[in-house]
Amino acid sequence: MTTKRIPIIAGNWKMNKTASEARDLATAIILLVKNVKNRDVVLAPPFTSLQAVAETIKKTDIALASQNLYWEDKGAYTGEISAEMLLELGCKYVIIGHSERRQYFGETDETVNKRLRQALNKGLLPIVCVGETLDERESGKANQVIKGQLKGALKDVTAAEMERVVVAYEPVWAIGTGKTATPKQAQEIHQFIRANIKALYDDATAAALRIQYGGSVTPDNVSTLMAMPDIDGALVGGASLKPESFAALVKFT
Ligand code: PGA
């Protein structure tokens, strides 16, 4: 059986764009991608711009994502954001465990798992990020690191829940550096991720899983990456901040 996986192109705006700038960017993107069919387009602005983008994309097929969430429902967690808050704003997806969260904000496989399970419990679709550092790649540990991150992130997640999960492979050395993984390097890890999901779950779950590549994706390299059999989308930082380049990514052929 072959499963058709709809490509998913997501723009991770990181800590960029005030609410008014976000509205302008989303408006420009809508115009440029309005005739695109058969791919999921996702925008992940910062928390403070979610509402502005939600209002702007309301009548389109573009989906809204947040860049994080907290695992408790509510309470004394100063500075955190709950699933319910995100749902009310119209978020469909949530990025979890981005390497910048792991690197600068103490995110661990355990906290990634807590956030992921909360997202699933509350009906948000998690985009869970994994990826090795340059040191880990150079010392031949990339596969081992990714296997550990997947196992940690997906602890107690059922096969039925996996239908709602997207995995993003983002080699840390390729993020914001202009150094993209070659299509072959990316494909090797994507295949490895799918094999791991098969081992943890089953054939059908692995075949249905969408795996995005992230790390210096641009309009120039998106097509060769997307041509790889196990690459089902892109999680894009820098190139998602300009309407023309993000639209070109969405329209990859
Ligand atoms: P980049 O970021 O496209 O700027 O490399 C990707 C990401 O961190 O999601």
Q: Are 82 and 74 in contact (CB under 8 A)?
A: yes
Q: Whose CA is nearest to atom 6 of ligand 1?
A: 237
Q: How far apart are CA 188 and CA 107, in angstroms?
A: 26
DSSP letter, residue 180: P
pLDDT for the residue 180 = 87
pLDDT band, very low/low/confident/very high, at 3 (cuts 50, 70, 90): low
Atom of ligand 1 nearest to the CA of 100: 8
Name the CA radius of gyration of the chain, rounded: 17
Q: Whose CA is nearest to atom 2 of ligand 1?
A: 237
Cβ atoms < 10 Å from Cβ of 133: 17
Q: Who has greater pLDDT, 164 or 181?
A: 164
Average model confidence (pLDDT) across the chain: 96
**In this model, does residue 149 exceed pLDDT 70?**
yes
Catalytic residues: 98, 170
Per-residue pLDDT tens digits for 104-134: 999 999 999 999 999 999 999 999 999 999 9
Give the largest CA-CA distance in the chain: 49
**In this model, does residue 157 exceed pLDDT 60?**
yes
Ligand 1-lining residues (CB < 6 angstroms): 12, 170, 175-176, 214-217, 235-239
Give me the mean pLDDT over the 228-248 stretch: 98
Q: Whose CA is nearest to atom 1 of ligand 1?
A: 237
Per-residue pLDDT tens digits for 166-209: 999 999 999 988 888 899 999 999 999 999 999 999 999 999 99
| Residue boundaries of the structural domains of the chain | 8-250
pLDDT for the residue 4 = 85
Residue 178 CA to ligand 1 center (angstroms) comes to 9
CA distance to 11, 23, 89, 186, 189, per residue, from 212 (Å): 12, 25, 25, 10, 11
Correct CATH for 8-250 of 3.30.450.30, 3.20.20.70, 3.40.1190.20, 3.40.50.300: 3.20.20.70
pLDDT for the residue 179 = 86
Give me the mean pLDDT over the 14-26 stretch: 98
Q: Which of 236, 241, 242, 245 to mutate to test the pocket of ligand 1 (most atoms within 8 A of CB)?
A: 236
Residue 98 CA to ligand 1 center (angstroms) comes to 10
- The helix-helix angle for 183-200 and 142-153 (nearest 10°) equals 40
* CB-based burial, 35-53: b 16+ in 10 Å, e otherwise: eeeebbbbbbbbeebbbbb
pLDDT above 70 covers a percentage of the chain that reads 99
pLDDT above 90 covers a percentage of the chain that reads 96
pLDDT for the residue 1 = 42
Residue 179 CA to ligand 1 center (angstroms) comes to 11
pLDDT for the residue 46 = 98
